[in-house]
């Protein structure tokens, strides 16, 4: 069949196709995202090669997926216990956050333990990579570098070399001959990733794809890649801090939302095995600081939430929150005013999670509220007390999951007390050597702590 080229406009955010240019994508709602692309329509249709037959679930054999260790404990844990053979793994993050550094360190370990590893870079020249490798003290003979951006040639090279692992740095720089548009466009990313996927699955070789995040916080062409790949990891962190957090947002081979904590040092990324200690290292019992325990994947991490409440000099009070959900904190402030009778109307309120961690759990509600009241009243919270619980609209404190995990971490770190929801207290099976106070409403909390 002769392939036909067709000019179409494609949304660079979600891949939606339109015969004419559109200002707003009807599918994902993105503005100004359409770019003209020449597409081979025969490619788009997909070819049926083999007819699949349904099989009984009982007859499906479980392949024991043996995992390869990356030699970096935190990375292994985020992956669910190491790299699964044949897995396609996407690592996204802002430029300069440390994606190349992390993978260079991991591939060096793997090259030492398992043999050949292929590191394909379309971004940096070989001498640039070598320079970085010197700094990281990397010298494995089995770590092979390839400077290439054509995906067909990358795969050809990999087929010939038979490495145990392939890294593509980055997916935005590779292109395939079969798509006509420019590298970095949605159709190029999708076609190239599809080819690498086929390679990974048919040879059982894991492939890491590095992806850059756009300003809006999504990997360019994100939705297309996120459902294609087996695992999606995001590397986050404030560049002002040395701490980096690697988070799994999707994982077909392990728990998602698991996090790994790293510190960027002069000699590359170092694992942080005890994150609670770090996030609390500078904690002092001053007003406006509350300690909470947040569950990330399979472990709990203790962190400090700070609030600053000051009288506003403007007609419109300022509300600025970092590391916590904006809507959620505004809701909590409203609950505090209405149910707790704390008058915050004329106050500027700032909330910050120390260390650059982003908390999405409602279990941190109680700590946020405690920090705000503490700053408002200029009264420090009791020292070495961890606070967690979800706050409802009527000011009630709701039970949260993972109580024992949170309390265990708190007692390990040396907390003396905990304030938790009554609902959790009643179901508590384990004994902890910390003093636990159960609260039912925010009024009760105010009563206990501040009066």
By beta-carbon proximity to ligand TYD, the closer residue of 25 and 117 is 117
CA distance 12 to 228: 16
Residues 123-162 that bind ligand TYD (CB under 6 A): 132, 135-136
In the region spanning residues 248 to 267, those forming contacts with ligand TYD, defined by CB under 6 A, are: 264, 266-267
Chain-centroid distance, C-alpha 30 = 22
Q: What is the DSSP string of 349-383?
A: EEEEEGGG-----GGGHHHHHHHHHHHHHT-PPPT
Local structure of residue 48 (DSSP, 8 states): -
Between strands 67-68 and 5-11, the pairing is unpaired
98 lies in the binding site for ligand TYD (CB under 6 A) = yes
Select the span of 98-106, 189-197, 248-256, 370-378 touching Mg ion (CB under 5 A): 98-106
Binding partner of residue 136 among Mg ion, ligand TYD, none, CB cut-off 5 to 8 Å per kind: ligand TYD
Q: Compute how many residues bind Mg ion; rule: CB under 5 A.
A: 1
What residues contact 202, with CB distance under 8 A and at least 6 apart?
Answer: none
- The mark string for 268-287 relative to ligand TYD (x by CB under 6 A, - otherwise) is x-------------------
Can you tell me which of 3, 7, 73, 96 binds ligand TYD, judged by CB under 6 A?
96
The encoded tokens of residue 194 equal: 């599809």
Contact map string, positions 66 to 95, toward ligand TYD, x by CB under 6 A? ---------------------------x-x
For residues 300 and 405, the answer to whether their CB atoms sit within 8 Å is yes
Q: Which does 414 bind (CB under 5 to 8 A by kind): Mg ion, ligand TYD, none?
A: none
**Shortest approach of Mg ion to residue 209 CB, angstroms?**
12
One residue of 10, 33, 70, 100 binding Mg ion per CB under 5 A: 100
233 binds ligand TYD (CB under 6 A): no
Contact (CB, 8 A) for 141 and 1: no
In the bound complex, what is the minimum distance in angstroms from residue 114's beta carbon to ligand TYD? Answer: 22
- Taking the least distance from each CB to ligand TYD, the nearer of 102 and 415 is 102
Nearest to 92 by CA among 212, 190, 185: 212
CB of 419 to ligand TYD, least distance (A): 39
Residue 121 in contact with Mg ion, rule: CB under 5 A: no
**Could you count the other beta carbons within 10 Å of the beta carbon of residue 316?**
7
Candidates 189, 198, 181; CA nearest to 221 is 189
Q: In this structure, are residues 293 and 406 in contact, taking their beta carbons and an 8 Å threshold?
A: yes
Q: Which of 260, 340, 263, 352 is nearest to 306 (CA)?
A: 352
User: Footprint of ligand TYD on this chain (CB under 6 A)?
Assistant: 93, 95-101, 132, 135-136, 264, 266-268
């Amino acid at each position: 069949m002769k392939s036909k080229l067709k000019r179409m406009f494609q949304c660079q955010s979600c891949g939606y196709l339109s015969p004419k240019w559109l200002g707003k994508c009807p599918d994902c709602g993105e503005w100004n995202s359409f770019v003209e692309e020449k597409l081979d329509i025969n490619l788009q249709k997909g070819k049926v090669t083999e007819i699949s037959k349904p099989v009984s679930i009982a007859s499906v054999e479980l392949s024991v997926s043996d995992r390869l260790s990356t030699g970096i404990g935190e990375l292994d844990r985020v992956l669910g216990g190491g790299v699964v053979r044949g897995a396609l793994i996407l690592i996204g993050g802002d430029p300069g956050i440390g994606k190349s550094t992390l993978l260079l360190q991991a591939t060096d370990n793997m090259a030492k333990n398992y043999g050949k590893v292929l590191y394909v870079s379309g971004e940096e020249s070989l001498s640039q990579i070598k320079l970085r490798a010197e700094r990281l003290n990397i010298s494995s003979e089995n770590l092979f570098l390839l400077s290439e951006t054509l995906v067909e040639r990358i795969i050809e090279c990999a087929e010939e070399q038979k490495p145990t692992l392939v890294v593509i740095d980055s997916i935005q720089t590779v292109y395939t001959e079969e798509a006509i548009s420019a590298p970095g466009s949605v159709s190029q990313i999708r076609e190239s990733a599809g080819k690498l996927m086929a390679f990974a699955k048919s040879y059982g070789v894991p492939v890491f794809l590095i992806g850059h995040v756009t300003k809006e916080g999504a990997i360019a062409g994100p939705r297309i890649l996120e459902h294609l790949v087996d695992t999606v990891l995001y590397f986050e962190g404030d560049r002002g801090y040395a701490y980096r957090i690697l988070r799994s947002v999707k994982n077909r081979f392990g728990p998602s939302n698991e996090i790994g904590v790293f510190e960027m040092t002069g000699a590359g990324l170092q694992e942080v095995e005890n994150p609670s200690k770090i996030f609390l290292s500078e904690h002092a019992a001053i007003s406006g600081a509350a300690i909470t325990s947040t569950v990330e994947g399979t472990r709990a991490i203790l962190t400090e939430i700070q609030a600053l409440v000051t009288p506003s000099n403007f007609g419109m009070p300022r509300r600025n929150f970092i590391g916590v959900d904006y809507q959620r904190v505004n809701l909590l402030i409203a609950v505090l005013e209405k149910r707790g009778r704390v008058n915050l109307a004329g106050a500027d309120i700032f909330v910050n999670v120390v260390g650059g961690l982003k908390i999405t759990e409602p279990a941190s509600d109680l700590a946020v509220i405690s920090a705000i009241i503490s700053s408002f009243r200029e009264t420090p919270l009791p020292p070495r007390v961890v606070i967690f619980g979800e706050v409802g609209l009527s000011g009630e404190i709701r039970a949260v999951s993972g109580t024992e995990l949170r309390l265990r971490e708190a007692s390990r770190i040396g907390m003396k007390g905990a304030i938790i929801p009554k609902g959790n207290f009643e179901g508590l099976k384990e004994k902890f050597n910390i003093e636990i106070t159960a609260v039912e409403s925010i009024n009760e909390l105010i009563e206990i702590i501040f009066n």
